[in-house]
């Protein structure tokens, strides 16, 4: 028997006093962790296969199950942590690049958690959102400030195309293929109901979802999957994906095993073929090439739709954003290094890119220093976890934010971080019909609407506390923020003062 170098991280703890051997766990686990042993008339588990997704725990009718850390440990070593050791074992065995899913879980600073929000006292009244209007509407797009007037002096209202959001939050790019049909439907319907937008990701737009077009942002990525005139026309806006926070500098790969049926048709590639998005766009090797693609897409859609350019937060993000703001793009989307992914090389995900808070602050500052902040709107993404993060991001300078992981959590995801395996027990990151069926879009979209409704209330409360009754007065309003436990340099980059100052 081969040596097993890696002991399971988790153990299935089953309380046999409670287990009624209903075998729900067995049926629910796509990883085949649970097994019924007839001659013993009891359930047993194979901890090796468990990904800690909690599907069985959530469905066990007698609460007989929980997943616990195995507690098995290597000899204490601050340098060679268990994770380091196990990764060496895995690579020594497979010879392959390590793959991971969802956002960077490592212990880097989360700047949002070191920023605090202001509130009014005495000199300035707070505003009660239950009594007074509290406005969260946002327009995304370029705001050229040259007023033109007609013969009788009336203003000619010819603003460039804008997206109008009821709430400064949008659902970020997750392709059909990386997530399921039912997940996609839940997200599209929620966006429609909320008056916001969701993003198709780079997998094209399923023909069933064209009817959500006015709430859809379609993505044009380096693989150009599913891009055609009808796709562009169907959308409210077009996003050029130059990079992704979870994997800056590299492309994407949907294995041929997932390119089946509708997915192959939507992506416009043969069934069973790998869908490989190259690392760069091969028609964009510099900023002037980007400008050409921006204008090609605008030409193709008669200048009726805003064009978003999405970039990963990397070291020189401010300079890149400055170039994009002059490229004809209407919106810049910045994706921080904690952003999620269906699959990324572990080393890239965990070691490349910078935090969104710093990237956003430096981009906003750079665009203002150059006097071009009104050329574009700025979107922040890459681990916006709650409404306070939204408020902080907007006060740092974002017009709105994209959320992805929070969307999936609302749909049932338990962040087990094994999307790349394709066996999502929650019916989200899978194409297996029996698993997809588990996510009911009728319930899924309601949970997303609930989540956003809750966030809206919280955003309104925080705004009201600051005496601000319209979200545009919060944008870039950094005096409303203070840092705690940050050094001078961090405060300088964030453009905020320390608490107590």
Partner 1 sequence: MIEGQQRIPSGCAISGIFSRSGRPLGGGEVIKSISVMHDRSNGLGGGFAAYGIYPKYRKHYAFHIFFDDETAKSECERFIQSRFDVADSSAIPTRRIPEITDEPIIWRYFVKPIAEKLEFDAVDEREYVARAVLKVNRDIDGAYVFSSGRDMGVFKAVGFPEDVGRFYMLEEYEGYCFTAHGRYPTNTPGWWGGAHPFSLLEYSVVHNGEISSYDANRRTIEMYGYPCTLQTDTEVIAYIIDYLNRRKGLTFGEIATVIAAPFWQTIERMPESDRRRYEYLRNIFSSYLITGPFSILVGFDGGMMALNDRLKLRSMVAAERGDTVYVASEEAAIRVIQPDLDRVWAPAGGEGVIVTLDKGVR
Contacts to partner 1 by CB under 8 A: 120, 123-125, 127, 132-133, 135, 137, 139, 143-147, 149, 154-155, 157, 159, 162, 368, 371, 373-374, 466-470, 472-480
Shortest gap between Cβ of 113 and partner 1 (angstroms)?
22
Measured CA to CA, the distance from residue 378 to residue 381 in angstroms comes to 10
Q: How far is the CB of 398 from partner 1 (least distance, A)?
A: 12
Is the CA virtual torsion 347, 349, 353, 354 positive or negative?
Answer: negative
- Residue number with CB closer to partner 1 (157 or 302): 157
Residue 304 C-beta: closest distance to partner 1, Å: 16
377, 400 Cβ separation under 8 angstroms: yes
- The conformation of residue 243, written as its DSSP 8-state character, comes to -
Of 322 and 383, CB closest to partner 1 = 322
Cβ 119 to partner 1, closest distance in Å?
10
Distance from C-alpha of 115 to C-alpha of 101, rounded to nearest angstrom: 28
d(CA 257, CA 263): 11
Q: Of 131 and 489, which CB lies nearer to partner 1 in the complex structure?
A: 131
DSSP result, 276-331: EE-SS-TT-SSHHHHHHHHHHHHHHTTT-S-EEEEEE--TTHHHHHHHHHTTT-SE
| Of 78 and 131, CB closest to partner 1 | 131
Q: Least separation, in Å, of the C-beta of 384 and partner 1?
A: 20
The alpha carbon of 360 is separated from its chain's Cα centroid by a whole number of angstroms, namely: 16
Nearest to partner 1 of 205, 307 (CB atom): 307
Distance CA 246, CA 104 (A): 7
What per-residue string of b and e applies to 429-455 under the rule 16 or more CB within 10 Å gives b? bbbeeebbebbebeebbbbbbebbeeb
Nearer residue to partner 1 within complex by CB, 38 or 371: 371
Tell me how far, at minimum, the Cβ of 175 lies from partner 1, in Å: 31
> Which residues have a Cβ under 8 Å from the Cβ of 394 and sit 6 or more positions away?
168, 400, 401, 471, 474, 475
Tell me the angle at which helices 181-194 and 441-466 cross, rounded to the nearest 10 degrees.
40
Comparison of 133 and 270: residue with beta carbon closer to partner 1: 133
155 and 147 in contact (C-beta within 8 Å)? yes
DSSP state of 94: H
Write the DSSP assignment of 377-420 as a string of letters.
EEEEES---SHHHHHHHHHHT-SEEEESHHHHHHTT------GG
Q: What angle do CA 204, 210, 211 make, to 5 degrees?
A: 155
**Shortest Å, Cβ 161 to partner 1:** 11
Gap between the Cα atoms of 439 and 454, Å rounded: 22
Give dist(CA 245, CA 348) in Å, integer: 10
C-beta of 367: minimal distance to partner 1 in Å? 9
293 or 395: whose CB is closer to partner 1?
A: 395
DSSP 8-state class, residue 472: G
Shortest Å distance, C-beta 451 to partner 1: 23
Least separation in angstroms between CB 209 and partner 1: 28
CA atoms within 13 A on the CB side of 372: 19
Cβ-based nearer residue to partner 1, 127 or 217: 127
Q: Which is nearer to partner 1, 150 or 270 (CB)?
A: 150
Nearer of residues 138 and 307 to partner 1, judged by Cβ: 138
Q: Nearest approach, Cβ of 109 to partner 1 (angstroms)? A: 24
């Amino acid at each position: 028997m081969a040596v097993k170098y890696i002991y399971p991280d988790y153990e299935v703890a089953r309380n046999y006093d409670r287990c009624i051997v209903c075998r729900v766990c067995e049926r629910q686990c796509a990883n085949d962790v649970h097994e019924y042993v007839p001659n013993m008339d009891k359930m047993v588990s194979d901890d090796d296969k468990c990904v800690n997704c909690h599907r069985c725990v959530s469905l066990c009718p007698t609460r007989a199950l929980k997943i616990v850390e195995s507690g098995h440990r290597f000899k204490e070593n601050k340098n060679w942590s268990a994770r380091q050791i196990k990764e060496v074992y895995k690579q020594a065995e497979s010879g392959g690049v390590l793959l991971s899913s969802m956002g960077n879980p490592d212990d880097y600073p989360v700047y949002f958690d070191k920023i605090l929000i202001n509130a009014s006292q005495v000199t300035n009244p707070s505003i009660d959102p239950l009594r007074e209007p509290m406005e969260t509407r946002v327009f995304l797009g370029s705001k050229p400030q040259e007023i033109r007037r007609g013969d009788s002096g009336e203003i000619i209202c010819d603003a460039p195309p804008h997206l109008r959001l009821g709430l400064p939050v949008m659902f970020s790019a997750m392709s059909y293929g990386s997530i399921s049909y039912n997940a996609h439907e839940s997200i599209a319907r929620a966006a429609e109901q909320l008056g916001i937008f969701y993003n198709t990701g780079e997998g094209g737009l399923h023909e069933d979802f064209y009817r959500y077009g006015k709430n859809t942002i379609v993505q044009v990525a380096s693989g150009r999957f599913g891009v055609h005139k009808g796709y562009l026309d169907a959308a409210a806006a077009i996003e050029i994906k130059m990079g992704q926070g979870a994997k800056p500098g590299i492309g994407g790969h949907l294995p041929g095993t997932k390119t089946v049926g509708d997915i192959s048709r939507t992506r416009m590639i043969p069934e069973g073929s790998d869908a490989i998005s190259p690392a760069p766009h091969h028609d964009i090797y510099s900023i002037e090439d980007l400008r050409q693609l921006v204008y090609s897409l605008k030409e193709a859609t008669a200048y009726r739709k805003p064009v978003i350019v999405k970039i990963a937060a990397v070291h020189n993000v401010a300079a890149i954003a400055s170039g994009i703001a002059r490229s004809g793009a209407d919106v810049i989307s910045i994706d921080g290094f904690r952003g999620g992914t269906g699959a990324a090389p572990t080393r890239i995900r965990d070691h490349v890119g910078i935090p969104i808070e710093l990237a956003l602050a430096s981009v906003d500052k750079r665009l203002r220093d150059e006097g071009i902040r009104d050329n574009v709107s700025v979107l922040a993404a890459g681990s916006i976890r709650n409404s306070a993060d939204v408020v902080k991001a907007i006060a740092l300078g974002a017009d709105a934010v994209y959320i992805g992981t929070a969307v999936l959590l609302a749909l049932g995801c338990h962040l087990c971080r094994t999307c790349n395996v394709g066996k999502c027990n929650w019916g989200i990151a899978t194409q297996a019909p029996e698993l997809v069926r588990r996510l009911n879009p009728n319930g899924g979209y309601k949970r997303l609407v609930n989540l956003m409704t809750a966030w809206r209330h919280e955003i309104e409360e925080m705004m009201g506390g600051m005496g601000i009754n319209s979200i545009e007065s919060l944008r870039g309003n950094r005096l409303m923020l203070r840092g705690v436990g940050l050094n001078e340099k961090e405060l300088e980059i964030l453009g905020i003062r320390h608490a107590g100052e």
